């Protein structure tokens, strides 16, 4: 029989998986409607980040619930966590590119307007 901590842990896991799956779903749906490649890339990586959190929380829930400590499980966990750094970097990179593009002063700085270079 499951104790109260396990039941609370399972309920929280279901909540996390539901929220991040919903966010990933909408990111991929919105991606289809966007025209600009820059915004499509940001939606892609936002959705991928949501799927990563679903995979990570599922793996951790299974590994911790069943006390899996085999070497293969540890290697798989290390690979999953390491891949998260790549996904996180790509998501941040796409977000910074969108932020740069939405900067109203970017055009002025890149064309040199307003600078006294004579």
Residue 59 domain-assigned?
yes
What's the burial of 42, exposed, middle or buried (CB within 10 Å: 0-12/13-18/19+)? buried
For 25-32, what is the mean pLDDT?
96
| Each residue's pLDDT tens digit, 91-110 | 999 999 999 888 887 766 65
Residue 32 falls within a domain, yes or no? yes
Q: Is 80 inside any structural domain?
A: yes
| Residue 98 resides in a domain | yes
Number of domains forming the structure of the chain = 1
> Is residue 110 domain-resident?
no
pLDDT at res. 113: 53
Expressed as residue numbers, the domain containing 77 is 4-103
**pTM > 0.85: yes or no:** no
Examine residue 111 and state whether it is found in any structural domain, yes or no: no
Dump pLDDT digits (tens) for 66-94.
888 899 999 999 999 999 999 999 999 99
């Amino acid at each position: 029989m499951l104790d109260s901590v396990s039941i609370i842990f399972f309920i929280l896991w279901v909540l996390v998986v539901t929220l991040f799956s919903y966010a990933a779903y909408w990111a991929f749906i919105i991606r289809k409607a966007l025209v600009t490649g820059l915004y499509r890339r940001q939606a892609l990586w936002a959705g991928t980040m949501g799927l990563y959190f679903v995979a990570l929380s599922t793996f951790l829930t299974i590994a911790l619930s069943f006390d899996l400590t085999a070497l293969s499980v540890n290697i798989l966990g290390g690979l999953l966590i390491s891949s998260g750094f790549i996904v996180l970097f790509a998501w941040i990179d796409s977000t910074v590119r969108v932020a740069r593009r939405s900067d109203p002063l970017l055009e002025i700085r890149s064309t040199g307007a307003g600078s006294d270079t004579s």
